Amino acid sequence: MAILIKTPREIEKMRDAGRLLRKVHDALTPMIQPGLSTMDLEEIAVKKIAELGAIAAFKGYHGYPAALCTSVNDEVVHGIPNPRRVLLEGDIIAIDCGVVLEDYYADAAVTHAVGKIKPIHRKLMDVTKAALDQAIRECVVGGRLGDISASVQEMCEAEGFGVVREFVGHGIGKAMHEEPQVPNYGQRGKGPKLKAGMVLAIEPMINAGGFEVKVLQDGWTAVTLDGSYSAHFEHTVAITEDGPQVLTN
């Protein structure tokens, strides 16, 4: 399978999907406070996506039961919204959402603090966000996929954090997951050359401790093996002759 190149027109459609997805995240952000359940967030998102005329991309994907992934504390990714999972002061929560608008996908994740959190968790979130921003700057024509991967790994490991191996970013377009896989670890100068028209969902998943994860009995929720907290940020990014364009902000 080749890496699909999008036309400028297709990128504009993906930007429309991305803008819409940003509105969903923006509706969730002010709600995040102690006492809210992850199912409350799901309900807000489902309403907002419908109101904006899009389709929730995750729901039904390989049987996934919700529009959001809500991953709290040591949950790395794919936490399932649950009315009994009530947010507490000091938690961190990664909210991941994907939408489809007129056949094109957008995918984005943000990690939020619930009230006051420990400094180490603030640092984990800041470094993960900074690693995504750095990875986006690597999205230039003539670069290589490995430059993106290596930049995330270098920045996060330099701070002593664990870079998750078992889940990776991905190409995105008329499908949520296209070629290529976009790991958060790798080597500069390696991998496919980056070309104008490629669109990537870049999503560092970074643990405060070791990189190892395991999937719980529910078949979805991935947690850190050592119980350390994990952060996740994701943007959908188009590579163009004019440089990287973030479609989800």
Q: How far is the CB of 167 from Co ion (least distance, A)?
A: 9
Q: Which of residues 89-128 bind Co ion (CB under 5 A)?
A: 107
69 binds ligand MF3 (CB under 6 A): yes
DSSP string for residues in 50-68: HHTT-EESSTTGGG---SE
For residue 170, the Cα-to-chain-centroid distance in whole angstroms is 10
Q: Using the rule CB under 5 A, which residue among 56, 201, 237, 246 binds Co ion?
A: 201
Give the one entry of ligand MF3, Co ion, none that residue 42 binds, where binding means its C-beta sits below a cut-off of 5 to 8 angstroms depending on kind. Answer: none
Measured from the Cβ of residue 43, the count of other Cβ atoms closer than 10 Å reads 14
DSSP string for residues in 151-212: HHHHHHHHTT-EE--S--EEE-SSSSSEEEEE-SS--TT-SSBP-TT-EEEE--EEESS-S-
Q: How far is the CB of 108 from Co ion (least distance, A)?
A: 8
107 binds ligand MF3 (CB under 6 A): yes
64 binds ligand MF3 (CB under 6 A): yes
Q: Which of residues 168-197 bind ligand MF3 (CB under 6 A)?
A: 170
58 binds ligand MF3 (CB under 6 A): yes
Measured from the Cβ of residue 180, the count of other Cβ atoms closer than 10 Å reads 17
Partners of 71 in the beta sheet? 94
Q: How far is the CB of 83 from Co ion (least distance, A)?
A: 25
Q: Which two tokens stand for residue 46?
A: 């489902």
178 binds Co ion (CB under 5 A): no
Interface residues toward Co ion, by CB under 5 A? 107, 201
